[in-house]
Structure 1
Amino acid sequence: MKNTIINHKSIIASFMAMTVAACGADKSAEMDSSAAKDASKIWPVLDIAVKKDDEIERKIVEIMSTMTLEQKVAQMIQPEIRDITVEDMRKYGFGSYLNGGGAFPNNNKHSTPADWIKLAEDLYQASVDDSVDGSNIPTIWGTDAVHGHNNVIGATLFPHNIGLGAANNPDLIEKIANVTATEVMVTGIDWVFAPTVAVVRDDRWGRTYEGYSEDPEIVRSYAASIVKGLQGHADKDFLSNDRVISTVKHFVGDGGTEKGDDQGDNLASEQDLFDIHAQGYVGGLSAGAQSVMASFNSWHGDKIHGNKYLLTNVLKDQMGFDGFVVGDWNGHGQVKDCTNDNCPQAVNAGLDIFMVPTGAWKPLYENTVQQVKDGVIKMSRIDDAVARILRVKLRADLFNKPSPAKRQFSGKLELIGAKAHREVARQAVQESLVLLKNKNVLPIKPTGHILVAGNGADNIGKQSGGWSITWQGTNNTNADFPGGTSIYQGIADQVKAAGGKVTLSEDGSFSTKPDVAVVVFGEDPYAEGHGDRENLDYQRGEKTDLALLKKLKAQGIPVVSIFLSGRPMWVNAELNASDAFVAAWLPGSEGQGVADVILTNADGSIQNNFKGKLSYTWPKSPDQAVINRFDENYDPLLPYGFGLTYGDENVLSDALNETVERDLSKVTTRTLFNGSMQKPWLLWLFSGDKEMEVNSNTHSIGALAYRTVDKVVQEDARQITLDGSERAGLRIASKSHFREDLRSDLEVKSALHFQIKLSEKPAAKVSLAMSCASEGDTQGSCGSSIDITSQLNALPLNEWQSISIDMACYANTGIRMADLVVPFELSSKGKLKLSLAEVKFEPNTAAQATISCQ
């Protein structure tokens, strides 16, 4: 940026005149004014602790007066570290960039803090180098540090938000945020995508554990505490050298989608949208949060990324938020008539920064620049967005702070996972545990013989859940959490110190009968999309953990269950098989916090009593996923706020109802394709190692030619022709390869049905496969195929026929219908020409299927 002598008063006046003129020219101004008036009926004007500063506003105008359109749009583009180079940063001068879940410097999971610092320093220096783009505005790096600096090996991992909500301790929350800010700054990063302030109303949602509570009361107070812990207090240490920029997310209503569908539709009234889902923004914005992340979800069918009323009229104009709004991972591409690389609608709605990973940033940048030139996006809207971005950067003093490698905490590796930080996390574990049942078994004296069993006992990855090193929290071992402690290790350390005996046995076997068994079990890690469930029945159709509990109890051993989960679940049978039951949620890296509460001191005195209280209602049936405090017909197993302490009378019997009362007659046909693909399913073509998503009526890829054809109406069927040069075919897969739960289809004896017209007899084996996601894999590695060659050879040519396959034929091979990714994949290595139509799962047809396994 050139050094220029400037008449600041003149520039401010002309800048304001330009903005006013642009607004006056906006044909929708009258409608916007009406919307703003309507917003005032429900949405408040917030008393935001961080006020506008005249000097900062003057500097904003000064900087913007020298910026080109291209430089301004570059401030609004946020690519991902896997998609850009240092040279890209030097050429374009992006305003910010991010590392997504599972992204690391050098694409190496085991990158050291020094690697993180080097990347931060390199990209920063490129951003302030004006030799190519003419701009020296510092870039900022954003990261998902949602329960500690969770992408970095060795960092302190705190309990996920659901556990912190049970602790209900705002002061502790501020300490946690402060520790997180410190560890983030060690790696040269200055912006955190937290806190999540979703108020979760349907526990089937896979991000339930990211919400503090089903009730906005805790969420509102916690949001303020997290913001203060990350950014500092507005009147004391706001964005000082030991603080980072915070992000209140996801605006708005993500926790209230229908059926708990991730990225789904929130149908709440506007009053409920504010009263329930927006209270975290009242708390977080009032405390001075400088960024807000737009949500993936829709509100009454309109995607939030393109909702001008909510992003501009409500958030900015009415509530008074003067920071910037950043999008979520290509969320703008979900707006009607948008794609990942073309979405003026989002800018016009009020989005200030596009989060645009996966390589779409360059065409998006170019398209946005052109759309401003063409008048599709008004220059006044670009100026507003850039002013907001600069305002935050100036408040954070980024123009004067040292570069990332030279900042106060940068490179101080002793702060990553420091003992004092882990002590804060350990306290959080202690206070988050909720005692649901206790038949005078707890606390346990550590001088006896304790058996520790279950696949969660010595598994730091499982107890940490999603967003732990990797995005889904999978593919980790204890070695990936140096300095951390499993629940077993925490128990073992105390038992051995007290002179007792501890045996670790995942399957519960032993040579000497123990005095008590502590069984640690629960949900495997998952993150957004992959955690959505059809109901809350724990281990539905499997019940291996229940078998372990019953085996131990049958041997006369008192059983203490430590349940790891990202939501309340229907565990009546597991509760019946337990003498004590602790909801431990997802405690993070400091598993010894569990031992601190369930074990006494060596002399039998209590170390720490239970403090946790349910911030989510506990269900009495698997279908009771939507049950929340203050509901009109509130009849849970355990209510909001429940939590025993030592000395309290036990309230749960050993005879809770274990019957699954499910009306299977309500299970209807599940359609995958009936002329068009049905949500959430997408059609893909593949040949050899190449694959492509279908987005046109004709395609060609390797050995396969594809086109739409007619069965009953125009283009209601799909034809493929294979030339036999390599294995090729088509598959139906869930969007983003998210896991879909089809266990109900299996329970009602469904079969996979499809219509097929064979144009040529197969020249080689034809397979029809299904695949599911195994732990640590989202692409579908657990699967099997069925040879349908003989069935095809029996069909007449050029006539539509029906083929069906019993779902049990796949389930019997080990495919987990709870984690289905690909329900239909037809392929062959030989020549083949056929057409397909009407692919669906039909209940109560398994016994009569073309291929049955009943």
Structure 2
Amino acid sequence: MTSTAVILGLTFTGSLILSGCADQAKTTPAAQTDNETIEARAHSLLLKMTLEEKIGQIIQADIAAVTPEEAKQYNLGSVLNGGNSAPGGGKIAPPAAWISLADEFWTASTDTSDGGLGIPLLWGTDAVHGHNNLQMATIFPHNSGLGAANNPALMKEIGAVTAREIRATGLDWTFAPTLAVAQDDRWGRAYESYSERPEIVAAYANAMVKGLQGTSGTDGFLNGDNVIATAKHFIGDGGTEFGIDKGDALGNEAALIKLHGAGYGPAIAADVQTVMASFSSINGEKMHGSKRFLTDVLRTDMGFEGFVVGDWNGHGEVPGCTATDCPEALMAGIDMYMAPESWRGLYDSLLAQAKSGEISQERLDEAVIRILRVKLRSGLFEAGLPSSRASADIDALGSDAHRNVARRAVRQSLVLLKNEGDILPLRGSPTVLVTGSGADSMQQQTGGWTLNWQGDNNPNDIFERGETIYSGIKTAIAAQGGAAALSSDGSFTEKPDVAIVVFGEQPYAEFFGDVSDLVYEFEDGENLKQLLDFKAKGIPVVSVFLTGRPLWMNPHLNASDAFVVGWLPGTEGGGIADVIVADAAGKARHDFTGRLSFSWPDNGVGHPINAPTDEGVLFPYGYGLSYGDDGRLAALSEDSGVVSGSAFNGNIVARGGAAKAFTVYLGDSSNANTPISGLRSNSLGGLVTTRGVDYKAQEDSRQVTWTGKGTFSVRSPRPVDFANAGGNAISLQWRIDEMPEGPMHVDIGCGDGCSSQIDISSIIRNIPTARWVQTNIAMDCFTASGLQTDAVTKPFALISEGSAKISLHSVSVEKIEAPLASCPG
């Protein structure tokens, strides 16, 4: 069928591809579209609901932390499967297990044997690039790649395919699309953004919502093969200072709304049913607690009529709140709390607050009726058991028709940055060596939010659909009479005609992907060494770079004859071969049509670049070569502007500030990772503040004040080797201004799940206040509790459990000749 969307005055037309045969014995109820009937039914239900049922409706629990029987008992309005949750408790589960659990939740929630109304719950899922929790699903390129395609009609197809596969497993609701307008590529969620430009996000928002939900006013709207969509994360998540996840967007409010709200108007015009609140803040105000934004801006100004759902315990980050106690979020405009494992405590506190009047009955009823309206519109009350629905057809998962849409999306998203000597497309009958960490890795090409939250530990054989990049190249090269061989380390016995090196970022999601600069790797990087080795041997090199965001790649561009940005293409890696390998006649099968939807940097510093005139732009937004263009590229500077972590000389804090290659962060319950530069600063929730103080010179030290639990930490963008400094102790030059009211720890980290934390309360108790002293802590104390000194990413952190005031002049790794005291603790 053909679909037409009118967005920003432009008309986009494309074909909508669906698959899967409906079982005629199954039923597909029509969604309720008569507004008067919906209102009457919703209000009739509301009048019959007990207070307990109302509280249950505004809570969403994770399937890993709630049973169907508990969902019935507490009358929960919704469940979700988080990034690491699947039926049965594992990472993945067969489609039948998803449908079976959906049946169990449906049966439990609609059971009226206890005298309740039996309101069916909604099941939501993070299907953000296809139904990405399923090992046989069609996984599309991540949004940053799709933005390069600049094709709203394609987005509508992708939305329709994703919805069809979600429905195949009995689910109702997806937390997509993400409408962030990412302005700082250091942000760990940059790949969830379609573009740095609001016009692309706006066009895609309308198309994707229509693809997922269907067209408002038609019979298929919100039911059948369509699902409920979510516009997220409202608002400003792509504009946080330093690109820090859960951070703070600063600036003129009207300008911020215009930029970061660009996608919401078109999504609301497409009748999007839910909006998810952002973890982030605007000018210090947390979104989950902001009536100004969630009510005044979203509803009064933008006209949104669905319901607002929170993000993963995001209400607990509102100042003064916890995960189990936050009436402020409801009063601000959150209609449904996402309380994955905290739902029981939250239920109890909300019920008590509703009984006491702390939560107004009017606001509670408003939230409940908004949720009921969406459920009624979607036909949920009449839908019946998920397994009985016509859409519950697991053969739709990863069907050939769906995979073809994904493969086309890969082709259209590729961006060519260099093509020296027109080496691409590969012609003739070449012998091709394919190597690099991403060449034969489904995990690397699919990235984060694939089978689990971070997208890691996913071997090829866990995927039941899809094709690796190498497999696609091998097939294409063979079709023109050549041969392609895979080499894990780039070695060969017979010199190839060309080497294709596929490399890039390893999977990450959310704050795990936050970086403090955009250097992919320095001169000692293994990928660069491999490119230079091929060049030294006279072998032409085609680089295929897998990434969620633009990174500083000047040395790699210099060392490559052709350079292709492959983004994170998803399961259909064969789409890359479709473009870079010619047909048997030597002609391109598909041209490069992708154009950068993000500016590409010419240094690694990471300062935001969002316009051609911004300092630090190498390739501007909209850049990309096609076959026939001049693919030559002049030699680029290989000075990244960033100090390599290998230059670590033992200094961590110097004159109160971070030593070279490091950054100071403050953290509290609102945000654990707020980077700072000036001496005067504060954590997002205001529990940790700093200012300059004098020791040997004016403001050569930093005073840190805690008014509650918080962290002062120094971090490195990449691992450093403490052994390089030749020290045996961490040495602090500091002053205790006010004794901590609770325990205080020193923490040194060496990556995810690797850290050593030591309670230094006993040391502090023996230090006189208001006097500068030097304190040495043996490095053995940290290594004994698990620190890996050759890969340190957090050289130093002070964590206080309560109020305290301490001034720091320096922190360093030192060689101490005198005997060191025994480890504290």
Q: Report if TM-score (shorter chain) is over 0.5.
A: yes
CA distance in 1, matches of 2:369, 2:707: 51
Do the aligned residues in 1 keep the contact of 2:605 with 2:640 (CA within 8 Å)? no
CA RMSD after TM alignment: 3.9
Q: Which residue matches 1:680?
A: 672
Instruction: Give how far 1:652 is off.
Output: 1.9
Q: Deviation of residue 503 (structure 1)?
A: 1.4
* In 2: Cα distance, 1:398 partner to 1:388 partner: 14
Residue 172 of structure 1: how far off its partner (Å) = 0.7
Structure 1's 356 and 851: CA in aligned 2 closer, same or farther, altered over 3 A?
farther
Question: Are the structure 2 counterparts of residues 500 and 370 from structure 1 closer, same or farther at C-alpha, using a change threshold of 3 Å?
Answer: same
Give how far 1:815 is off.
4.0
Instruction: Give the 5 Å matches for 1:45-84.
Output: 53-84=35-66
Q: Displacement, 1:90?
A: 1.6
Q: Does 1:378 align with 2:369?
A: no
For 1:239-289, what per-residue CA distance to the aligned partner results, in whole angstroms no more than 9, with x for missing partners?
131110000000000000000010000113122222210011011111110
Q: Within 2, Cα distance between the matches of 1:849 and 1:674?
A: 29
Which amino acid letter does the alignment assign opposite residue 791 of structure 2?
Answer: R
1:3 alignment counterpart:
none
The counterpart of 2:468, out of the listed 448, 463, 486, is: 486
- The residue that corresponds to 2:750 in the other structure is 772
The CA distance in 1 between the partners of 2:414 and 2:349, in whole Å, is 51
Structure 1's 672 and 572: CA in aligned 2 closer, same or farther, altered over 3 A?
closer
Pair 1:235-2:217 in alignment: yes
Give the direction of change, closer, same or farther, for the CA distance of 1:287–1:677 in structure 2 (3 Å limit). closer
Any conservation in 1 of the 2:721–2:789 contact (CA below 8 Å)? no
**Aligned partner letter, 2:45:** I
**Does the 8 Å contact 1:569/1:619 carry over to 2?**
yes
Alignment partner for residue 396 of structure 2, among 401, 415, 424?
Answer: 415
Query: Could you say if the C-alpha distance between residues 193 and 848 of structure 1 is closer, same or farther in structure 2, counting changes exceeding 3 Å?
Result: same
1:803 alignment counterpart: 776
What is the CA deviation profile of residues 552-600 of structure 1, one whole-angstrom value per residue up to 9, with x for unaligned ones? 1110000000001111000100100000000111000000000000000
Unaligned runs of 5+ residues in structure 1 are 1-49, 683-695, 697-712, 719-730, 758-766, 826-835
Q: Give the counterpart letter for 1:365 in structure 2.
A: Y
CA distance in 2: counterparts of 1:678 and 1:177, whole angstroms: 33
- Equivalent residue of 2:775, what SS? strand
Change (3 A) 1:547 1:338: same
Are residue 259 (structure 1) and residue 242 (structure 2) matched? yes
Shift of 1:745: 11
Deviation per residue, 1:494-533 (Å, 9 max, x gap): 2223331111112110000000000000010000010000
- Equivalent positions of 1:392-791 (< 5 A) are 392-410=374-392, 412-439=393-420, 440-445=422-427, 447-540=429-522, 542-629=524-611, 633=614, 635-653=616-634, 655-662=635-642, 668=658, 680=672, 741=717, 752-754=730-732, 770-773=748-751, 778-780=752-754
Asked whether 1:274 is paired with 2:257, we answer yes
Distance change (3 Å), C-alpha of 1:796 and 1:196: closer
1:356 paired with 2:339, answer yes
The structure 1 residue matched to 2:290, chosen from 301, 307, 310, is 307
SS in 2 for 1:458: coil
Change (3 A) 1:298 1:622: same
Aligned residues: 726
2:500·2:544 contact (CA, 8 Å) conserved in 1?
Answer: yes
Q: Secondary structure at the match of 1:305?
A: helix
Q: Tell me the distance in 1 between the aligned counterparts of 2:374 and 2:466.
A: 35
- What secondary structure, in the 3-state scheme, does the structure 1 residue paired with 2:319 have? coil
1:465·1:526 contact (CA, 8 Å) conserved in 2?
Answer: yes
Deviation per residue, 1:780-808 (Å, 9 max, x gap): 2xx7999x99xx99x9988875116799x
1:415 deviation in Å?
Answer: 1.1
**Deviation of residue 375 (structure 1)?**
1.5
Does 1:222 pair with 2:197? no
Distance change >3 Å, CA 651–CA 104, structure 1 → 2: same
Distance 1:381-1:266 versus aligned 2 partners, 3 A rule: same
Distance 1:52 1:553 in 2: 67
String of CA shifts for 1:107-165, please: whole Å, max 9, x gaps. 12231000011111101110000223612111010000000000111111000000000
Whether the 8 Å contact between 2:749 and 2:787 is mirrored in structure 1 is no
Match of 1:46 in 2: none
CA displacement, residues 191-216 of structure 1 (integer Å, 9 cap, x when unaligned): 00000000000110000000000010
Mapped pair 1:194 → 2:176: yes
Inter-CA distance 497–839: structure 2 relative to 1 (3 Å threshold): farther
Distance 2:539 2:722 in 1: 36
Residues 771 and 815, structure 1, Cα contact 8 Å, conserved in 2 = no
Question: CA–CA distance in 1 between the matches of 2:211 and 2:45?
Answer: 30
Q: Secondary structure at the match of 1:436?
A: strand
Residue in structure 1 matched with residue 822 of structure 2 by the alignment: none
- Give 1:391 deviation, angstroms: 0.6
**Percent same amino acid among aligned pairs?**
45
1:603 is paired with a residue whose SS is coil
Q: CA deviation at 1:317?
A: 2.0
- Please name the residue that 1:699 is paired with: none
CA 1:676–1:70: 2 relative to 1, 3 Å: closer
- After TM superposition, the structure 1 = structure 2 runs for residues 156-167 of structure 1, keeping only pairs within 5 Å, are 156-167=138-149
SS of corresponding position for 2:316: helix
Q: CA deviation at 1:460?
A: 0.7
1:567 maps to amino acid: R
Q: Which of 183, 187, 190 is matched with 1:208 structurally? A: 190
Query: CA separation in 2, counterparts of 1:338 and 1:308?
Result: 15
**For 1:656 and 1:840, how far apart are their aligned partners in 2?**
41
* Equivalent AA in structure 2 for residue 500 of structure 1: G
CA contact (8 A) 1:672 1:839 kept: no
Q: Is the 8 A contact 1:93 1:133 kept in 2?
A: no
Aligned amino acid, residue 374 of structure 2: V
Residues 132/174 of structure 1: CA separation in 2 closer, same or farther (3 Å cut) = same
* Greater displacement, 739-748 / 375-384: 739-748
Per-residue deviation, residues 171-229 of structure 1 (Å, max 9, x unmatched): 11111111100111111100000000000001100000000000100000101111000
SS of aligned partner of 1:649: coil
User: Secondary structure of the residue that 2:140 maps to in structure 1?
Assistant: coil
* Residues 402-451 of structure 1, C-alpha deviations (whole Å, 9 max, x = no match): 221111121x2221111111110000000000000110111112621000
Q: CA deviation at 1:680?
A: 3.0
